[in-house]
């Protein structure tokens, strides 16, 4: 995402108000200002997808975007999403954030509007014909190269090129309400369009939803089961090595003008909970992230600190922080347990393939 609920680049100048967390200057962040979205209002229906508004009618878009009650309840709202059609049966109707969409036949020309949808379709063995990359990285993520084919660019997640999408003659478009709600009506006139509520921490539910138009839900669930087993295996290894005293983990991200410590309602936060590996108390909040200043970088300390950078490092404070005196006081730094990680998997991937890559990293670091 440009930063996403997992996070990404701000999509509007206003933000949800900061919530104090007991530290001077610290702030807990919901979704406001973290995600690049293409719109925040309007629904839309009609077009080639035979979409009808219903499933998303009870979702408060402002609340989902800015961190209100819907921010932490997205997964519950997705329980009715998906299809009742048996595997291999078409046409099928898929319920999603913007209503219901008919899929007349198994899609073969798919356009994906974010990194999570990209990861999801590639995990299912599908090479998309078009993709919207993030503003910070406008090329195919390295971990997907060789598997995703050579899809055409259809703009970025914050600036979709509808003409480029239409020119590809897709038979399915996958995206999210949070990112592209205002474009939904236009997109659904191009091809059947299925939207999740938002990318990020509901990545498992999004995977199954993205599989529904293809009739591949069983495959998606099987991959999630394998992921879950691998996560638990890492947790068991760490527990055995440490006598049950699990190390704390801080996922730290440098972004232009921001430093974030990712919390429970983030992609990486859900993964740490699955293993399980604890986070420091400051990150134990039902939000996306806690934002700190360079002068507060000691708040990031944990047994392990894994840090990534969004976009160009020179556009962030990474070099100044890592070269500063305060960074060198962190216990993780002193013990050699502050390590750089790939932003494209830890913070941007938002799918099972990225999750498996992160598990591999974690195993190498904490459970070799």
* Residues 210, 236 within the same domain: no
In a domain, 29, yes or no: no
In a domain, 14, yes or no: no
Of 197, 216, 235, the one marking the end of a domain is 216
Q: In the chain, which residue ranges form alpha helices assigned H by DSSP?
A: 61-66, 74-77, 115-123, 162-167, 177-180, 184-190, 203-211, 217-242, 267-274, 318-322, 331-334, 343-346, 352-366
Separation CA 57–CA 44 (nearest Å): 11
* Residues 113, 89 within the same domain: yes
* Residues 212, 228 within the same domain: no
Which of 153, 111, 162, 114 is closest to 134 using CA atoms?
Answer: 114
- The pLDDT, as a whole number, for residue 63 is 34
- The pLDDT, as a whole number, for residue 313 is 96
* Residues 211, 259 within the same domain: no
Separation CA 55–CA 30 (nearest Å): 23
* Residues 206, 279 within the same domain: no
Return the exposure string of 178-189: e unless at least 16 CB atoms fall within 10 Å of the residue's CB, then b. bbbbbbbbbbbb
91 prior amide bond cis, ω within 30: yes
- The pLDDT, as a whole number, for residue 137 is 87
The whole-number mean pLDDT for each consecutive block of 10 residues of the chain, a chain of 368 residues, reads 36 29 48 34 37 44 41 86 96 98 98 98 98 93 96 97 98 97 98 97 97 98 98 97 96 97 96 98 95 97 98 97 98 98 97 98 95
Which CATH number is 209's domain given?
3.40.50.1980
By three-state DSSP, how is residue 209 classified?
helix
pLDDT digits (tens, 9 = 90+) for 274-325: 999 999 999 999 999 999 999 999 999 999 999 999 999 999 999 999 999 9
* Residues 164, 255 within the same domain: no
* Residues 240, 188 within the same domain: no
Within 10 angstroms of residue 163's Cβ, the number of other Cβ atoms is: 10
Which residues on neighbouring strands pair with residue 133, listed in sequence order? 156
Separation CA 11–CA 69 (nearest Å): 20
Separation CA 349–CA 256 (nearest Å): 19
Sign of CA dihedral 283, 287, 288, 289: negative
Number of domains observed in the structure of the chain: 2
pLDDT digits (tens, 9 = 90+) for 344-355: 999 999 999 999
pTM for this model (two decimals): 0.85
Question: Domain containing 93: what range?
Answer: 42-216
């Amino acid at each position: 995402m440009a930063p996403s609920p997992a996070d990404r680049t701000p999509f509007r100048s206003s933000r949800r108000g900061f919530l104090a967390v007991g530290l001077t200057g610290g702030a807990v962040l919901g979704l406001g200002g973290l995600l690049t979205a293409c719109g925040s209002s309007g629904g839309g229906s009609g077009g080639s997808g035979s979409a009808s508004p219903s499933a998303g009618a009870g979702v408060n878009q402002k609340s989902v975007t800015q961190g209100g009650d819907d921010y932490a309840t997205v997964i519950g709202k997705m329980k009715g999403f998906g299809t009742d059609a048996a595997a291999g049966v078409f046409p099928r109707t898929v319920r999603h954030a913007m209503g219901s969409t008919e899929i007349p036949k198994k899609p073969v020309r798919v356009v994906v509007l974010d990194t999570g949808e990209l990861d999801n379709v590639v995990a299912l063995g599908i090479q998309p014909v078009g993709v919207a990359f993030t503003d910070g990285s406008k090329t195919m993520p390295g971990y997907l190269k060789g598997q995703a084919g050579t899809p055409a660019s259809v703009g970025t997640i914050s600036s979709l090129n509808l003409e480029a999408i239409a020119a590809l003659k897709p038979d399915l478009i996958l995206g999210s309400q949070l990112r592209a709600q205002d474009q939904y009506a236009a997109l659904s006139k191009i091809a059947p369009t299925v939207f999740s509520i938002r990318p990020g921490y509901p990545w498992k539910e999004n995977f199954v939803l993205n599989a529904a138009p293809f009739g591949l839900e069983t495959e998606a669930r099987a991959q999630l089961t394998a992921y879950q087993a691998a996560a638990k295996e890492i947790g068991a290894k760490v527990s055995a090595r440490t006598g049950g005293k699990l190390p704390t983990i801080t996922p730290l991200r440098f972004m232009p003008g921001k430093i974030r410590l990712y919390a429970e309602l983030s992609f990486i936060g859900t993964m740490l909970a699955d293993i399980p590996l604890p986070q420091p108390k400051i990150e134990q909040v039902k939000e996306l992230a806690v934002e700190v200043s360079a002068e507060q970088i000691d708040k990031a300390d944990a047994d392990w600190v894994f840090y990534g950078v969004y976009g160009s490092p020179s556009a962030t404070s990474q070099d100044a922080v890592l070269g500063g005196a305060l960074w060198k006081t962190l216990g993780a730094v002193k013990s050699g347990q502050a390590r750089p990680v790939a932003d494209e998997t830890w913070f941007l991937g938002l799918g099972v393939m990225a999750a498996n890559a992160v598990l591999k990293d974690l195993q190498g670091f904490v459970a070799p």
